A and B are shown apart, each in its own frame.
Chain A
Amino acid sequence: MNTATILLIERGIIKLLKNPTAPIMGFGMSLFFLLVYNAGIGGIGSMEAFGTGGYLSFVFPITIISLAMGSSAGAGQTLNADMQSGYFKRLYLSPAPRWILVVAPMLADTVSSMVFTILLIVIGAIFGVSFQFGFISVLGIQLLSFLWSLTLCGFSAGIMLRTGQHQTAAIVTNAVFPLLFLSTTFLPRELITANWLLTVSWGNPVTYILEGNRYLLGGTSSANFFYIGLLIFAITSIVSVIFALTSANKIKV
């Protein structure tokens, strides 16, 4: 990695630290899910379907998902600010590889998402979330979170680059939000009574990240969900990064 590349990634992180609205919003949303849902309906966690980890461990993956959803617009916003000010053109005329101009803010966003994920894991552990495989579970959660975050960042940045409108950076979050409700977000599969919802949840990628996490936490799901989730989000991450990079070619400088 050359100096210019490192400098641009550093710049992306510093920008995020100076204006942490997006990750803090995501973190706030996550804490809301963790605390309010557990306080409101945590009692049902004593049912067998929730496993030994209780409702807290069951609801915890939602906090991980919503964290990335809240903060994924950051890369798009940074790119947009640089384009509005014309500074993007100056960076474009530097010896730095041009792809890194797009990837750097995405990486910064993803790094921030990872840091907040660790924070959430610590808070979760304090509140009593169980981690079935200890540190391995933590690594697995981080890996899924990384791929999920990168997927959202890539699409968010790509859409913003193509439209040139910073408001569109939030489109991905808005598009993904309904998927949360079409999955096993609040109840285990065994307790969902609507067959159509069960059918839809099978085709919903969010299900695999949720259940994959649950396998690592309370052990209420099978390992297959984790592996399928890894595969799905590895593919979507690659697609989203390619989408963002090809979008960079559409920029009018």
Chain B
Amino acid sequence: MTAEIQIHELFKKYPNGTEAIKGISLEIQKGQFFTLLGPNGAGKSTLVKILTTLINKDSGDFSISGINPEMNQSEIQKIIGVASQDNEIDPTEKVENLLIFQGRLFGLTKTEAAKRTNELIQLFELEKERNKKASVLSGGNKRRLHCALALVHRPCILFLDEPTVGMDPVARANFWEVITQMNSRETVTIFLTTQYLDEADRHASEMALIVDGVIQYSGTIIDFKKKVNPNSELSLDESYLQYIKALSNQELTKN
């Protein structure tokens, strides 16, 4: 069976000489809730940017749903949704108009876009904000709108790059409810990067750990925890910290 996301020997070096990705290979199956973990600057966002065609790789191959995204950018955008760390909202537009426009851009008819807009406004509890300009929304509501925009076209694969940064606990819980429902009911594949490991622990089943552009672990979260500490059940947070600490010690010993 072909994996939903297939990555083979991916390399990326930035013009300033930083080698962000050093030969990454990964496979993510359809319907998986996958999380990519790693410290700041490990290469998580770079990998997401390559997979979503925001930047080009240097070498290696990758495919999404069997399609080469670099050759079929337009096709890929129709099946993926992206919610990144920064709000990507036109502040001069009203909430409702932004959602409708996004739907229309992805090929929905006016009626379909309006219907989908209503669904998302309800789902993300933005009823009161519907006719407000995005610039006057609170930080939390901007994040809700930002995430809603990524879902307008009902993507089959969702890339969530630190999506809940800046959300209050209620909005966060609400957001995860929407995402987990999409994952379980509609078998939407989720590719999540986050620094909130409790969220990854609660929702994801598969993970990869990237450090300094290299995948140090890939497999299930349960196996990762067992690998770090076979005798006691630690949270993902604790397991991650132990693992990173052990890696740093190894590096120190090598040096």
Residue picked from A11, A82, A93, most chain B C-beta under 10 Å? A93
A85 to B92, CA, bound (A): 10
- Considering only residues 70-106 of chain A, those with a C-beta below 8 Å from chain B are 81-82, 85-87, 89-98
The total of Cβ contacts below 8 Å across the A-B interface reads 59
Given contacts A7-B105, A86-B87, A253-B55, A93 and B74 within 8 Å (CB-CB): no
**Is the Cβ of A94 less than 8 Å from the Cβ of B88?**
no
Quick check: B104 and A3 within 8 Å, CB to CB?
yes
Instruction: Say yes or no for A39: interface residue by CB 8 A criterion.
Output: no
Q: Could you tell me if B105 and A87 are in contact, using CB atoms closer than 8 angstroms?
A: no
Determine whether the beta carbon of B90 is less than 8 Å from that of A93: no
Chain A: interface residue count, which band? 20 to 34
Alpha-carbon separation in the docked complex, A85 to B102 (Å): 16
B89 with A85: CB separation less than 8 A: yes
Verify A98–B89 contact, CB threshold 8 A. no
Q: Quick check: is B77 within 8 A (CB to CB) of the other chain?
A: yes
Contact A4 B87 (CB under 8 A): no
Contacts of B86 in A (CB 8 A): 86, 89
- B105 contacts A95, CB within 8 Å? yes
Chain A residues contacting B102 (CB-CB under 8 Å) are: 90, 94
Q: What total of chain B residues lie within 8 Å of the partner, measured CB to CB? A: 26
Shortest CB distance A211–B (Å) = 42
A253 to B91, CA, bound (A): 18
Are B52's CB and A93's CB within 8 A? Answer: yes
CB of B78 within 8 Å of the partner chain: yes
The 8 Å CB contact of A87, one of B52, B75, B89, B106, is B89
In the complex, 24 of the A-B residue pairs with CB atoms within 8 angstroms, ordered by the A residue number, are: A3-B105, A3-B107, A4-B107, A11-B101, A82-B90, A85-B88, A85-B91, A86-B86, A86-B88, A87-B89, A87-B90, A89-B86, A90-B89, A90-B102, A92-B54, A93-B53, A93-B54, A94-B77, A94-B102, A95-B75, A95-B105, A96-B74, A96-B105, A98-B73
Task: Mark B residues whose CB is within 8 Å of A.
Answer: 49, 52-55, 73-75, 77-78, 82, 84, 86-92, 101-102, 104-107, 149
